[in-house]
Amino acid sequence: MATVAEKSALPPWRSTVEDHQSGLRLDRWLVSRFPDRSRSTLQKWIERGLVLIDGVTVRPSASVRSGQIVEVEIPPPLPTMPLPEDFPLDLIHEDEHLLIIDKPAGMVVHPSPGSPPEGTLVNALLGHTERLSRVGGENRAGIVHRLDRETSGVIAVAKTDEAHRALSAQFHEREVSKEYLALAHGCPRTVTGEIDLPLGRSTGDPRKQGVRHDSGGRESFTSWQKIATLPALTWLRCFPRTGRTHQIRVHLRAIGHPILCDKFYGREKSANLCNYLPGTSSAPLERHALHAWRLFFHHPVEGTPMRFHAPLPADLRPFWVASVPLEGALEEGNPPP
């Protein structure tokens, strides 16, 4: 059901569907039981796996039947306002409308029921400037798009509501180009490839995403290119066209090349370079090897093309330095990551 961090101090709420309620959509039935909650909020609870029917996660559109037992893990309330924190940000760019940050691995982007209310990027942003867009709400001040906790790299932040709306529109229309670097198990047979597999919430674990060919799957597309190799490992340059949760991680796993140290979708929780290249210095890795390398879009107010990149952080760089680059894999003039 819910993760440990999401669990409320209260026991799960339970109720049995009555005869006259049979056939109602689950989200509509919940509205009748939780009149102080909006339907959209209750739908989010269902999508996060906080609602079970007879012990099984379902979709918001599922119908309830007489005699079924509905169980709800009511999430704890979010703090009304994240507090500013004095945390040094690795600024790539800043102007009147935008901040471009090189996010470190291990930092959650914004407070949520599944993460602590402090130590997030939003807390650090509030400590840096009071001028942040509030389009997404106080808990997501300035946040236009997200990176997973363990994913490092480039993230764009809106300082004004105007910039937020314009940049969100570019993401929605798929006018933003995103490039990631992933160190994956194995070596694909071809130099390039495309993954066109629909993704949705896993039916077995609501914390995970999975390939779904039913109505719960959403269009998801990732292309990739081999750029360097290590024994039993390959550096891939990934281009997600869509922006589904955990998209690159699930897609690479689906083709048999899970990302190194991916605790959810991979094979191990930690790794060391010397185990792949005996004789090399120890270089431990304690998080999944995925880095948001480059981001391209048009300035949301001025309209000028903008290109940003974040170099590989210290924990991933030894794996790159020890690898053998494929000739011509990176365009001429681009520095190695």
Residues recognised as catalytic: 148
Rounded distance between C-alpha atoms, residue 289 and residue 268, angstroms:
12
Q: Which of 27, 21, 33, 34 is nearest to 68 (CA)?
A: 21
Q: Which two tokens stand for residue 182?
A: 């992933």
Query: Rounded to whole angstroms, how far apart are CA atoms 23 and 43?
Result: 17
* Sole residue written with tokens 């993760």: 3
CB 148 within 8 A of CB 246: yes
Question: Residues with Cβ < 8 Å from 10, sequence gap 6 or more?
Answer: 74
* Helix, strand, coil content of the chain in percent (nearest 5): 20, 30, 55
Output phi, psi for 161, to 5 deg.
-65, -35
Sort strands 271-272 and 192-196 into parallel, antiparallel or unpaired.
Answer: unpaired
Q: Maximum distance among all alpha carbons in the chain?
A: 71
The encoded tokens of residue 196 equal 């066109």
Q: Which helix (H) or strand (E) holds 124?
A: helix 121-128
Question: DSSP letter string over 194-221?
Answer: EEE--EEE-SS-TTSEEE--STT-B--E
Task: Please answer whether residues 52 and 70 qualify as being in contact, where contact means their C-beta atoms are separated by less than 8 angstroms.
Answer: yes
